[in-house]
Structure 1
Amino acid sequence: MNIHDPAAELKANVAVPFEAARAMPVSVYTSEDFLALEQEHVFAKSWLCAGRADALKEPGDYLTMEIAGEPVIVLRDRDGGLRAMSNVCRHRMSILLEGRGHVRAITCPYHAWTYNLDGSLRGAPAMDMNQSFCKEAMGLPQIRCADWKGWIMVTLDPDLPEPGEGLAEVDDLVGYLRMEDYVETFREEHHWNTNWKILAENFMESYHLPMCHGGTIGGAVDLRQMTCPEGFAGFNFHHIQKDDSIALSIAHKDNTELQGDERNRTWLLAIYPSLLITLTPGYFWYLCLTPDGPGHVKILYGGGLHPDFARDAEAPQHFETLKGLLDAVNDEDRGCTERVWKGMQARNAVPGALSHLERPNYEFARWIAARMPTE
């Protein structure tokens, strides 16, 4: 094995059974070369989440994202369907739209070439004077987009199976909650000084809860009472039974469909590679991760309510309290994950043995390793 080859180091790292597993090698977090492999073989070949479908309510509502360096527009077209397309003008290659908003048409800020909401070119000033110009050939390239259980999923891979095929087991676990019906109430963008995988792994395991979240939720955690089941090919998960100390953590009092433990079970789903969902009978929150170099990650952070609570006049006050707690937990996670990134720069940084509560991290490492090219 070439010790300067992070992909080879990772493959060797996950070639042992879970009982003997260690954390991923430092090089897979810090190496620019390994990030380039991730962009090509993980992000460019996976379904990635752009947020919730109800963030785009009306025709012309749009948001932008980036997949492996490729700028993408996602919008509601005139027929009300979700559509994704290149965010690069077909003229001199300017970026067309930024952030999110509403447009009647997509107009390039450089030379005013204008595109319809289906990506076809509507107009190009004075280009009729160029005899070789063909407007019909200048539409924006289309990119695959799907609504999977209320999540906007986008991929650059034309051959990837639909999200529902690769994530069929999600229905077996949480289908009874009808995730697609939840209503988003906030959506924010953050930027942290850590590697994207450090944050993903942090979400996947609850071993860190007592210490990292000692100021918020950690005091209620008993590590010896927790388990982490085996995950599936496309995601890992674990769940927690909660009491009514948070008003929205359990099913609404008027809900008669959910019975027994279903009424207070919280699910944590890590959809590979970078969609992290916490789902309860009352609310949900999520993170979508995009690497920005080895030591930075762009985070889409959002959440909202089960429809029962979305209709409840008292729910906004409850959610305001909950959002304060979520923000505080997020701040604690930021501190912990940024310290891990800083520690990885040390010459004495060596990965240690995994806890039994870190099985999801091992499975995540194996999933990434399986996507790395072989020599």
Structure 2
Amino acid sequence: MTSLPLDDALFDAMETSILPTEEAESLPPLCYTDAAFYEFEKQAIFAKEWLCVGRESWAAGPGDYFTSFIADEPLIVARGRDGVLRAMSSVCQHRAMLVAEGSGKARAFVCPYHHWTYALDGSLAAAPAMERSCKFHREDFNLPVFALEIWEGFVFVNFDKDAAPLAPRLAKVSEVLRGYDLSNATGDKPAGEQRYPWNWKVMFENNNDGYHASKLHQGPLHDFIPSELAEFPDDLPGDTAGYYRTNRTLHPDAAFNATQRAVLPVFPGLSADERHRMVFANVPPTLSLVMTVDSVIYLILRADGPESHRVDQGVLTAPRAKADPAYEQKMAMGFLAASEIIDQDLHVDEMVQIGLRSRFAPRGRYSWQEGAQRLFNTWLVPRYRKAWSERNKAEGCAGESL
């Protein structure tokens, strides 16, 4: 696909996407399709923001590790013998071979190409046959280590070591999620990733969108959570790192299955009022949560191109859920219902991406039921504008020095 030029007019035009919902319009279509914009976005967003890569439980003990890949960066998250969880590049500092794949338990990471060996903290422990290389010092070739933070049991990584801490900027979101006690919620590591041929924002927006629920998902698996009962917060701080929406349900303890009611243990910290709604929480650009009273579906979105991304999708439940002898059967019942709904969403996402490539693709207007889209835009647009301004300033300074 031919890349389009990025200019001041494009970023100025984004201001209409953060107007009040009744006045706002969607982002310019090229933000979802253009290769140059994706390259810009990698620096504006993915190089500076906290990126979810998994759950802390995936590397619970010393030597446990898992790998990830986001915005062209292969990563390892490993628990050292000192008990500290670290995130580092998976790229061998010799010839760029990846030193780890998948997940498991290791005493060290040995590059299969030339057997350079890295300790669990990323330090280079061995480099065979390098004794004749001039001025070679092992300490100069450690794996790059990145900032890491745990929020609600999820592992976040930031390539910018000077980034502001994540948790304080998610205080409002954490307050809404308190009853779920996500740090102690349990769930198996997803068996594998999915890769989808559409922009990461298309999927993120669909996960945020309550407007389509009573239309696209009309039927017995979804009718208990009507779009007209969607609610959007108006008190999120300006520096928030995430946002949420809630949706009242027609009866308490509603859940996505054929019975329309929770079949697994309800999260014990939920109040009576909280048991009469669902929560949709988002920490862009990577984590989206769909929260019912007895389970939490999480999606970890990992952009890998202008029109593609990968997703790790899992389910969390209250810690005592697995004690139920019928746990597997009840989970299967929920999975059957969720799969039908998810398949509808995936088809829409694919068709939206096709539409966004069209020369007739609009900058659409929002319904009040799409308030979460504006919340997403108010997170994105200032970051885009800031990065564009910084780039222009840097290019101007470079021109002045010539």
TM-score by length of 1: 0.91
Name the structure 1 match of 2:214: 210
Q: Secondary structure at the match of 2:53?
A: strand
Superposition map of 1:82-161 within 5 A: 82-130=85-133, 132-161=135-164
Name the structure 2 match of 1:321: 333
Aligned-pair CA distance for 1:252 = 6.3
Aligned-pair CA distance for 1:250 = 4.6
Q: Do structure 1's residue 365 and structure 2's residue 338 form an aligned pair?
A: no
State which drifts further: 82-91 or 277-286: 277-286
* Counterpart pick for 1:220 among 210, 219, 224: 224
Query: Distance between the aligned counterparts of 2:378 and 2:265, measured in 1?
Result: 42
Tell whether the 8 Å contact from 2:224 to 2:254 is kept in structure 1 after alignment. Answer: no
Name the structure 1 match of 2:242: 235
Tell whether the 8 Å contact from 1:107 to 1:114 is kept in structure 2 after alignment. Answer: yes
Aligned-pair CA distance for 1:114 = 0.7
Tell whether the 8 Å contact from 2:123 to 2:139 is kept in structure 1 after alignment. Answer: yes
Name the structure 1 match of 2:200: 196
What stretches of structure 1 of length at least 5 have no aligned partner? none
Aligned residue type for 1:362: R
What's the CA shift string for 1:18-50, capped at 9, x where partnerless?
221112211211111211121101111111101
What stretches of structure 2 of length at least 5 have no aligned partner? 393-402
State which drifts further: 123-132 or 279-288: 123-132
Number of aligned residue pairs: give it: 374
* Counterpart pick for 1:164 among 160, 164, 167: 167
Aligned-pair CA distance for 1:249 = 6.2
Distance 1:356 1:255, change over 3 A: closer
Q: Secondary structure at the match of 1:92?
A: coil
What's the CA shift string for 1:281-339, capped at 9, x where partnerless?
32111111122222111111111211131333332221122122223222211101100
Q: Secondary structure at the match of 2:305?
A: coil
Tell whether the 8 Å contact from 2:254 to 2:292 is kept in structure 1 after alignment. Answer: no
Aligned-pair CA distance for 1:254 = 8.6
Superposition map of 1:1-375 within 5 A: 5=7, 7-8=10-11, 10-14=13-17, 16-130=19-133, 132-187=135-190, 188-214=192-218, 217-230=221-234, 232=236, 233-240=240-247, 241=249, 242-244=252-254, 246=257, 250=262, 258-372=270-384, 373-374=388-389, 375=392
Distance 1:125 1:254, change over 3 A: closer
TM-score by length of 2: 0.85
Q: Secondary structure at the match of 2:62?
A: coil
C-alpha RMSD of matched pairs (Å): 2.5
Q: Secondary structure at the match of 2:188?
A: strand
Aligned-pair CA distance for 1:153 = 0.6
Q: Secondary structure at the match of 2:88?
A: strand
| Identity across matched positions, percent | 31
